[in-house]
């Protein structure tokens, strides 16, 4: 029974991985379940064992990738001994992942070019939830940074948190179009440092 369950989970992961690749290459509307089954070396029956239809498989792919990004954001700790560095390190980690993680780039490309309507409409809610979750995580950590004197007291935290998310989102889109423009692996920390230069006091102390 245990081996059967493990095999089923493995098959599901194969379908999610293969589905991401095929949907990214062909687009949602032009992809058939047969395309994914053939690419995965599985039968259509194997797909229907886990997913009722193409939309359900697609939604599972998108939701799982959204969760993985939120998981990275949740690495930001307001309770850290150095919360501002926790924010910087996590945001830089996300930028580096854009360059290093091909699955993440495929997800970002698919996410940006697919219209979430009709049978995919519920994904709009997941997109909104993701943005708000990231925003709230940043606000909590930035509030602690301000309390400790790591961020100037006159900085509007809502505006700054929005700016950080916008830069991450924009970097996803720009890097997918023009990866030759810059190495995120080499420049991620510098990009994030530039964003924080305008909000940090002249000398940062940790209280």
Query: 46-93, pLDDT tens digit by residue?
Result: 899 999 999 999 999 999 999 999 999 999 988 889 999 999 999 999
Residue 2 in this model has a pLDDT that exceeds 60: no
In the chain, % of residues over pLDDT 70:
95
Question: Tokens 């969760």 appear where?
Answer: 67
Specify the pTM: 0.86
Please determine whether the domains at 1-51 and 59-197 fall in the same fold group of CATH: no
In the chain, % of residues over pLDDT 90:
81
For residues 19 and 15, give the distance between their C-alpha atoms in angstroms, rounded to a whole number.
6
- pLDDT for res 79: 84
- Mean predicted confidence (pLDDT) in 176-188: 94
- Mean predicted confidence (pLDDT) in 103-114: 90
Domains of the chain, by residue range, sit at 1-51, 59-197
Return the higher-pLDDT residue of 5 and 57.
57
- pLDDT for res 135: 97
Return the higher-pLDDT residue of 45 and 205.
45
- pLDDT for res 203: 66
Q: Name the DSSP class of 118.
A: G
- Mean predicted confidence (pLDDT) in 2-28: 87
Query: DSSP alpha helices (H): ranges in 74-122?
Result: 83-100, 102-113
Mention every residue, 6+ apart, whose C-beta is less than 8 A from residue 119: 55
Mention every residue, 6+ apart, whose C-beta is less than 8 A from residue 129: 66
The tokens of 74 are what? Answer: 């949740």
Structural element, H or E, at residue 3: helix 2-26
- pLDDT for res 3: 52
1-51 CATH pick, 3.40.50.300, 3.20.20.140, 1.10.10.60, 3.30.390.50: 1.10.10.60
- Mean predicted confidence (pLDDT) in 176-205: 90
Query: 129-170, pLDDT tens digit by residue?
Result: 999 999 999 999 999 999 999 999 999 999 999 999 999 999
Nearest to 150 by CA among 90, 95, 201: 201
Q: What is the mean pLDDT of the chain?
A: 92
Residue 206 in this model has a pLDDT that exceeds 60: no
Question: What radius of gyration, in Å, describes the C-alpha atoms of the chain?
Answer: 20
59-197 CATH pick, 1.10.357.10, 2.40.10.10, 1.10.287.110, 1.10.10.10: 1.10.357.10
Query: DSSP alpha helices (H): ranges in 27-156?
Result: 33-40, 44-50, 54-73, 83-100, 102-113, 123-147
Of 21-30, 108-117, 179-188, where does mean pLDDT reach its minimum? 108-117
For residues 18 and 120, give the distance between their C-alpha atoms in angstroms, rounded to a whole number.
19
Query: Taking each helix axis from N to C terminus, what angle separates 102-113 and 2-26, rounded to the nearest 10 degrees?
Result: 60
């Amino acid at each position: 029974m245990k081996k059967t369950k493990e095999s089923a989970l493995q098959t599901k992961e194969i379908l999610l991985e293969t589905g991401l690749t095929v949907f990214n290459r062909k687009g949602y509307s032009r992809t058939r379940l047969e395309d994914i089954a053939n690419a995965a070396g599985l039968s259509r029956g194997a797909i229907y064992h886990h997913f009722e239809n193409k939309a359900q498989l697609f939604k599972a792919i998108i939701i799982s990738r959204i969760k993985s990004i939120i998981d990275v954001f949740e690495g930001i700790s307001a309770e850290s001994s150095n919360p501002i560095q926790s924010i910087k390190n996590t945001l830089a980690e996300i930028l580096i992942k854009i360059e290093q993680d091909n699955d993440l780039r495929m997800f970002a490309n698919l996410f940006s070019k697919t219209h979430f309507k009709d049978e995919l409409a519920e994904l709009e809610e997941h997109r909104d939830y993701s943005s708000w979750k990231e925003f709230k995580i940043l606000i909590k950590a930035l509030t602690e940074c301000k309390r400790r004197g790591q961020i100037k007291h006159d900085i509007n935290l809502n505006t700054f948190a929005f700016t950080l998310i916008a830069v991450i989102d924009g970097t996803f889109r720009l890097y997918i179009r023009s990866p030759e423009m810059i190495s995120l692996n080499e420049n991620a920390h510098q990009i994030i440092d530039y964003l924080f230069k305008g909000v940090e006091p002249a000398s940062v102390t940790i209280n």
